[in-house]
Amino acid sequence: MSRQTHADLKEVINESGIVIQPVYASEDVEASGGWDGIGKPGEFPFTRGIHELMYRQRPWTMRQYAGFGTPEETNERFRYLIANGQTGLNVAFDLPSQVGLDSDDPAALGEVGRVGMAVDTLKDFEIAFEGIDLARITVSLTINGPAVTLIAMYFAMAQKRGYDVRTLRGTAQNDILKEFIGRGTWVFPVEPSIKLVGDTILYCAEYAPLYSPVSVCGYHIRESGATPVQEMAYAFCIARAYIDHVLQRGLGIDEFASRLSFNFDIHGNLFEQVAKFRAARRLWAKLMKEQYHTEDPRSTWMRMIAGGGGGGLTIEQPENNIVRSAYYALISALSGTQTMALCSFDEAYTIPSEKAARISLRTMQILIEEMGLCDTVDPLAGSYYVETLTNQMEERIRATMNAVDQEGGIVRAIAEGRIQNVVSRQAYERLKKLESGEIRKVGMNCYRMEEEEDVQVGFHPFKEEDCATQIKRLEQVHAERDKERVGRLLEQLLADARAGRNVMPAVIESVKAYATVGELTRCFVEAYGKYQEPVCF
């Protein structure tokens, strides 16, 4: 087919707004920016991956998201996943823990242990990680608003078990700015929230240099309605906001940049997603050199966890989600991720069953053991289509970042609710297109059965007794701890917060004395206040 006849075809535009040609050739790569940015794996600008041999040397870490009910139940699921070949843990916390409430708080009623593990004190961490080798299995903490407290609990638990925190590896999500855009588990106003993130970065740089205190989450921004381009652009703007804050506090860029990481989303067009990650990895390396003049090559690495996004799954015909997640895993591997996690097929309904979690784990293992995804590095490199898309995606991500900068920066845009407004409006428009069938979703608005089969999904039971168990344990901790010591430590924490000092040392001492998540959160609220969400129309 000649290019002259392309006009007769229906125009195809991907979600990032790029017009897709029916055929690509070398001239398309040249017109989009050329071949020079491809490079070699393990070399700047890392388009083809941050390591020279990538999965040929070491497969990606498999880190399924898990946690529910009590610490005992979560420990049981952790052990199950590890026994089935999982190589990292990713901890889900219940909603009260995510917003800094203790299990006995009236506002926590009905939510204790419902969508994640309930955590009140260090005792809960000790139970959840009992029997798990923290030197062999790295742990990611999916926590944001009270992240400073939960990180401190993890460190205190590890120290109590004899681990050297200086050699401890792991990650905390701890990306509060994306919470204002997406999930909404914020507690404190924007500026002090950034300050707390900075406290963790500075503390880890000195005392836990192998730990990653922040995982910047484009994932949740994408799930909230952002395009693939916006997902990467907003995440990079947020990462720069944290970097700028820490630099202003006197830490050198190469003292912490290598421990920043990213959490990204995968659903949608396969080639768009692969190009998104290749482009972003290259752009991040350039930004770190251009703007921050890094000297350590590791400071320019875009280290990431990338897995299937829940936004791509459907309630209708949920077995199709097994197929979708397999493709998401394929995209993740082709994109050069360091860590992979997949949503299980039943997550549109419930907390994953053991069977569903095992299927997701086996999906990743099949890619490693049977599909050849670890045989060679960046197998799509050199494709006219992929390289053209990579160049176009890089250009669009940079342009979106520049637009944010020109309007006063990401912190101001979030504080004023402008980013939230853009993303939520896009989510609404996408929903209308799904409902009308303009965006086709198999089993949802096309290829439906005349009589849909009964959904064969086992619902995870919410157990009221979990709340009673947590409250009983919390009461026992209250009775056994040194109340006067806890009181003194909380007073010191409040004084440090009010004075603008790094609160991590005081938080660690407080949690070692079994101060609760809620008690520490109340100290911060007294010092910083609570965030009032702006409403935009």
DSSP character string of 52-87: SSHHHHSPPEE--EE--BSHHHHHHHHHHHHHTT--
Region 63-81 average pLDDT? 95
pLDDT of 207 over the 70 cut: yes
Q: Is residue 115 part of a domain?
A: yes
Average pLDDT, the chain: 95
Q: Is residue 520 part of a domain?
A: no
Task: Kindly report whether the global pTM for this prediction surpasses the value 0.85.
Answer: yes
Cα dist from 164 to 24, 30, 167, 457, whole Å: 53, 51, 6, 43
Q: Is residue 374 part of a domain?
A: yes
Residue pLDDT, tens place only, 241-278: 999 999 999 999 999 999 999 999 999 999 999 999 99
Q: Is residue 413 part of a domain?
A: yes
Question: What SS3 class is residue 36?
Answer: coil
When pLDDT is cut at 50, 70 and 90, the band that residue 183 belongs to is: confident
Q: What is the predicted pLDDT for the residue at 532?
A: 85
Q: Is residue 493 part of a domain?
A: no
Q: Beta 211-212 vs 214-217: how paired, if at all?
A: unpaired
Beta bridge partners of 117: 69, 93
Dihedral of the alpha carbons of 320, 326, 328, 330, in degrees to the nearest 10: -150
Q: Which residues contact 433 (CB under 8 A, 6 or more apart)?
A: 439
Q: What percent of the chain has pLDDT over 90?
A: 91
Q: Which residues contact 100 (CB under 8 A, 6 or more apart)?
A: 145, 146, 149, 187, 517, 518, 520, 521, 524
Give how many domains the chain has, as a whole number: 1
Residue pLDDT, tens place only, 367-419: 999 999 999 999 999 999 999 999 999 999 999 999 999 999 999 999 999 99
Q: Which residues contact 531 (CB under 8 A, 6 or more apart)?
A: 180, 186, 187, 188, 189, 190, 193
Q: How far apart are CA 199 and CA 528, in angstroms?
A: 14
Beta bridge partners of 20: 12
H helix intervals, 376-437: 384-406, 410-415, 418-436
Question: Whole domain around residue 265: which residue ranges?
Answer: 20-419
CATH number at residue 310: 3.20.20.240
Q: Please name which of 532, 517, 516 lies closest in space to residue 188, comparing C-alpha atoms.
A: 532
Q: How far apart are CA 288 and CA 255, in angstroms?
A: 13
> Could you tell me the two tokens for 214?
């922040």
User: Within 10 Å of residue 399's Cβ, how many Cβ atoms?
Assistant: 11
When pLDDT is cut at 50, 70 and 90, the band that residue 536 belongs to is: low
Q: What is the predicted pLDDT for the residue at 344?
A: 93
Residue pLDDT, tens place only, 459-489: 777 788 889 999 999 999 999 999 999 999 9
Residue pLDDT, tens place only, 278-317: 999 999 999 999 999 999 999 999 999 998 888 999 999 9
Report residue 293 CA to chain centroid gap. 26
Instruction: Give counts: helices (H), strands (E), the chain.
Output: 20, 12
Residue pLDDT, tens place only, 90-109: 999 999 999 999 999 999 99
Q: Which residues contact 439 (CB under 8 A, 6 or more apart)?
A: 430, 433, 445
Q: Is residue 99 part of a domain?
A: yes
Q: Is residue 456 part of a domain?
A: no
Q: What is the predicted pLDDT for the residue at 134?
A: 97
Q: Is residue 7 part of a domain?
A: no
